[in-house]
Structure 1
């Protein structure tokens, strides 16, 4: 029984990158390139998950008192207003 399923992928500008990798001999087929790309994405996703998990754990362990949501949003609105004001001055 077949363990893989053929698919069609439209690469657009990335086709040149795939073809260069094939021409270099680094990969024997487009399928190998695509599998390597998906493995790289899986590693990237895992690294991001690990990073976010560590940030959440650090936040939970932080001994400082929590900031009420209303205060957080007040600060965010003020920061956004300053950013928008600065952007208008720049134009």
Structure 2
């Protein structure tokens, strides 16, 4: 595993410490890795939505209903 040295603002550092102190996470590293995973998963959904929008813009329409698009979006986000 790669080791990094990063700096946090005081409010962010206090929040990280509180999450560890409340036993939400065992360490700041675990918390930061979880936040990065969440951001990566969100990016997957954003990329999927962008691709859908670009396809729809190029074709002028989509046959998918709003509920189908929402269902597909949720499925993509949840893996």
**What TM-score results when the alignment is normalised by the length of structure 1?**
0.58
| Aligned equivalents of 1:5, 1:60: Cα separation in 2 | 44
Q: Give structure 2 stretches of 5+ with no counterpart.
A: 62-79
The structure with more radius of gyration: 1
**What TM-score results when the alignment is normalised by the length of structure 2?**
0.66
Partner residue in 2 for 1:72? none
- Count residues in correspondence: 61
Please give the root-mean-square deviation of Cα atoms over the aligned residues, in Å.
Answer: 1.6
The higher relative CO (CA closer than 8 Å, separation ≥ 6) is in 2
- 4+ long deviations beyond 3 Å: none
Q: Give structure 1 stretches of 5+ with no counterpart.
A: 64-91
